[in-house]
Chains A and B, each alone.
Chain A
Amino acid sequence: MIEVRGLGKTFHRPDPIVAVDGVGFHCEPGEVVGLLGPNGAGKTTTLRILATLLSPDVGSAAVAGHDVVEEPDQVRRSIGYLSASTGLYPRLTARETLTYFAELHQVPDAGRRVDALMERFEIGPFAHVRCDRLSTGMKQKVSIARAIVHDPPVLIFDEPTLGLDVLVAQTLLAFIEERRAAGRTVLFSTHVMREAERLCDRIAIIHKGRILAEDTLDGLRARTGETDLEQVFVQLVESAGE
């Protein structure tokens, strides 16, 4: 479903910063893959390339069988993207936000789809409240509903639990599990080991723009001889440094 090969991206603003350096991994349908790495590792840049927001300098990436450079429009149709700094239009209501994006995605029978999503995420009570008056948790619910308004086969979430309180974060993780059960592909980035440990079928560990390892949790444990993911991570980083 997601196929990344030798991806590279350097920012020139104006000094060159190599953000992503030969990244490769893949995700299958019905699979949750975690992109795990510290701040500045290149997670956001990688996900932005997959969401067709940035174009790679080298390498290739395909989502749902479509190349991100050649067929960006098809890629955008197939993904539900939730950016790390995601925001909502302050002067639109929750319902309007969902309707707007349902229109942009040409969702057939948009009204019913929006109703269903509002019920699923318990948005109903504040459907007509302007987004700037919503609490952080409510906002995140609206953002997630907005990202999947077109029921995409691939979900790309950039640090979705960042800044959320425990309860909302739990709801979100439960939602990701539900999507997996529905046969969707989920790729999400995080720097929280516990989240990765709980959810991921496979984990790609990224550090300084490079993938250090890509395996199941058990595979990573076996490879490093450590049981704790944190220790696994530390050991991979140290052996990469040599």
Chain B
Amino acid sequence: MSEGPAGQWGLRQQVLRMFRWDLRYQLRDPRTLLLMILTPLVLVPAMTWLSQSADDRREGPLVVAAPIAFAEWVDSDDALIVIDGTLEEPGAPHGAATEPAGQGDDETAGETDDTEPDVTAPLAQVILPVEQGEPYRVRYRGARLEGSAALERVRTVIRRHEEARRADRFARLGLPPPDQILATAVRDASTAEARAGDLLGRLAPLVLLLLVMTGGLHTALDIITGERERGTLETLLSAPVERRAVLYAKGLSVLVTAGVSTVLALISLGISTALFDMGLDGLDASLPPARIAMAGLLMLPLVVMLTAALMLLAARVPDYKAGQFLSAPAMMVVLLPAGLAALPEAELGPLLALIPITGIALAVREVLSGVAEPGLVLLALGAAVAHAGLTVRFAGQALTGERFLLGPPDRRARHARGDFAVEGVGLFLLAILCLWFFGQTAQGLDLTIGMLVTQILTIALPAVAAVAWLGRPIGATLRLRAPRMRDALLAVIAGAAATGVGQLVALVQSPLIPVPEAFLEQFGGQFEGFGLAQALLLFALLPGICEEILFRGALVGLMERRLGRLGVMLAVGAMFGLIHLAVPRILPTGVLGVLLTWAVLRSGSLWIPIIMHAVHNGLLFTLASTGAVAEDQQLPWYALLGASALAIGLVALMGRGSTAAAEKT
């Protein structure tokens, strides 16, 4: 399609004209101004405060107690020095480790010690006291993950040493053992620069994403969705301007409002950190400008991608309200991969570099803390440019095609066909969001309360509420009818056999996705301190009911018409796998989810997957807690395969044979 003589009325001129009017129009909107001011004034200080309290918790209390003669420590076999997270004999490194101790001059040592940090120093080291009464000093490099791990090892060694000494020494003297023997002062020995870089690198991408989203969303919805809603879009598009010019002008408007609110927020961030005198003292160190510039460059494609994504969203939603409704899930979709990069374990690799948002967030973090590998950073940058390009392309298609003018297909027509697939995805995202925000906090407080809150308030309740809100019959949508006796019996055995399914998948995927040790420990230790009955109620029956209401009930009921049997099995299975927010569990749980979905489709009763789920969890828990299965994967692969085949076979038998009898009732 040719767009007429280009020279007459250049693209740039068109863009600038429209942009100017869009901007003027936008600045008259109290909501825009409110967002621009509210974010820096309220949101940013709140976030700063939160991150500070999180920082406080991370730093454990300083260990101070009665000193003992250091000679005993040095002579003992336990006198180990920790380097790079591994234990080494007190030999050559010992000298290096004791060296800084000579400079130690204040008793409290710790944080205020401004001994010059040695970049080549080990990740963590124990510095022995020169005189009696001085604390043992532990230096570690907190900006490196291994540094934190090394610190933990040092602490363990000290504790062990302490306990050993306590036993014989005090027993010999006939004294009651004191609480602690060794005085230690802990200090982060990373360079201030590295600390600042790491901290800033973790925060910057998250803050940036949040700000661009909050700053740009309203503008995007107002000048894109609103333009159609108000009936000005047809007028605008019948004016002699290129479609591309419309796209660029709107993009520029979104970018500018997002940019202005981001800059304001950053200024506010600076002020509030100074004001609260926060744990961001690492930021006192000025980073090399080259690193900051590089980080800025890395985030540029991210900003472009987000802007385009906001425009895409705005072009696709039917109206402003729908856009706002979707903004929470959209925010989560964006923040989740960024949050992933802020985890201490995350490290830029060739695979993560390719993931949208995560790649750049990691690259920014590593560039700022000065540990980046140029090749990987370049890869992340290239990937981000590609992602941005694709998103801009999609936004371009969305804003220049006929569908932009016509709006999305009428929802009512879709609903009349019983197609609630979009709403199903929305419900799933909402559940993840709830789980992420509230569930984890609640579980941190108390496991019982946490389980109840998570299962009932963030899983079952939203599901039932969504079905009711969409005006669907709850009983029929959730398939609440009573199961047939035969199916229920099959479900009990199938649920038990299904324990093999998850383990089989875990076994198959283990060369690719190893289960991290910490995860196993956490999973195993989760149930400690519960009676069997209480635990079965809490970890088997409760999730059985609540999770099935969401997945096999609401999600299957809302999406099956659109996706078909196979489609809904795969989709709900995938969602079931994803909800646990743990990579090693996606596939095993996902496959289990497919089986459970199949069971509800075959039997026609939600009670069937509830029984299977509860029996499955109950059996796993009983085996683990009674020690019958101490380690995972004790069963050989053929046994697991057999159990899986049995589970599948039993589900296949469900709903068979008595169709005529079922129809009569």
Q: Is the CB of B230 within 8 A of A73?
A: no
Contact of B4 among A74, A86, A87, A147 (CB under 8 A): A74
Give the contacting residue for A89; candidates B3, B25, B239, B242; CB below 8 A: B25
* B471 contacts A by Cβ under 8 Å: no
A13-B410, A71-B2, A71-B4 known; A89+B240 contact, CB < 8 A: no
Give bound CA distance, A53 to B9, whole Å: 20
A54 and B238 contact, CB distance less than 8 A: no
- Whether the pair A54, B402 counts as a contact (CB closer than 8 A) is yes
B240, A77: Cβ atoms closer than 8 Å: yes
Question: Do the beta carbons of A53 and B240 come within 8 Å of each other?
Answer: no
Tell me if B241 is interfacial: C-beta within 8 Å of chain A.
Answer: yes
- Determine whether the beta carbon of A90 is less than 8 Å from that of B4: no
Q: Is A239 an interface residue (CB 8 A)?
A: no
| In the assembled complex, A175 has its CB within 8 A of some CB on chain B | no
CA separation between A232 and B5, bound complex, in Å? 46
Does B17 count as interface, using CB distance less than 8 angstroms? yes
What 0/1 pattern do residues 14 to 46 of B give for CB contact below 8 A with A? 100110010011001100000000000000000
The interface size of chain B toward A, counting residues with CB under 8 Å, comes to 32
Whether B230 lies near A89 (C-beta < 8 A) is yes
Instruction: Check B240 against A86 for contact (C-beta < 8 Å).
Output: no
Q: A54-B405, A69-B1, A105-B239 are in contact. Are A85 and B231 (CB under 8 A)?
A: yes
Q: Does B235 contact A (CB under 8 A)?
A: yes
Contact A51:B25 (CB < 8 A) given known A70-B2, A73-B4 = no
Stretch of A26-34, A96-104, A114-122 on the interface side: A96-104
**Which residues of B lie under 8 Å from residue A173 when comparing CB positions?**
none
The answer to whether B25 touches A72, judged by C-beta atoms less than 8 angstroms apart, is no
Q: Give chain B residues whose Cβ lies under 8 Å from the Cβ of A90.
A: 230
How big is the A interface, by class? 35 or more
Q: Which residue from chain A places its CB closest to the CB of B8 in the assembled complex?
A: A106
- Contact of A55 with B402 at beta-carbon distance under 8 Å, contacts A72-B1, A72-B4 already known: yes
Contact, CB under 8 Å: B234 / A81: yes
B409 touches A14 (CB 8 A): yes
Is the pair A83, B409 in contact by a Cβ cutoff of 8 Å?
A: no
Contact across chains for B409 and A13 when beta carbons are under 8 A apart: yes
A74 and B235 CA atoms in complex are apart in Å by 16
Tell me, rounded to whole Å, the shortest Cβ–Cβ distance linking A47 to chain B.
10
Interface contact A51-B240, CB-CB below 8 Å? no
Contact B29 A76 (CB under 8 A): no
How many inter-chain residue pairs (CB < 8 Å) link A and B?
89
Question: In this assembly, does A7 line the interface, its C-beta being within 8 Å of a C-beta of chain B?
Answer: no
> For the complex, would chain A's binding face be called helix, strand, loop or mixed by DSSP majority?
loop
Distance between B65 CB and nearest chain A CB, rounded to angstroms: 68
Nearest Cβ on chain A to B520's Cβ, whole angstroms: 48
The answer to whether A92 touches B25, judged by C-beta atoms less than 8 angstroms apart, is: yes
Cβ contacts under 8 Å, B234 to chain A: 48, 51, 53, 81, 83, 85-86
Task: Name A53's contact: one of B2, B3, B5, B405 (CB within 8 Å).
Answer: B405
A70 contacts across to B, CB distance below 8 A: 1-2
Is B2 in contact with A91, judged by CB distance below 8 angstroms? Answer: no
Q: How near does chain B come to A12, taking the closest CB pair, in angstroms? A: 9
**B232 in the interface, Cβ–Cβ < 8 Å?**
yes
A11 to B407, CA, bound (A): 12
Q: List B contacts of A103 (CB < 8 A).
A: 17, 21
Q: Please give, as numbers and ranges, the residues of chain A lying within 8 Å of B236 by CB-CB distance.
A: 104
The 5 closest A-B pairs by CB, nearest first: A73-B4, A87-B231, A13-B409, A83-B234, A81-B238
A-B contact pairs, 29 of them (CB 8 A): A11-B406, A13-B406, A13-B409, A13-B413, A48-B405, A51-B238, A52-B238, A53-B237, A53-B402, A54-B405, A55-B402, A69-B1, A70-B1, A72-B1, A72-B4, A73-B2, A73-B5, A83-B231, A86-B234, A86-B235, A87-B232, A87-B235, A88-B232, A91-B25, A103-B21, A104-B17, A105-B239, A106-B240, A147-B235
Knowing that A76-B238, A83-B231, A85-B234 touch, tell me 10 more A-B residue pairs with CB under 8 angstroms.
A14-B409, A53-B238, A72-B1, A72-B3, A73-B2, A73-B240, A86-B235, A87-B230, A87-B232, A89-B25
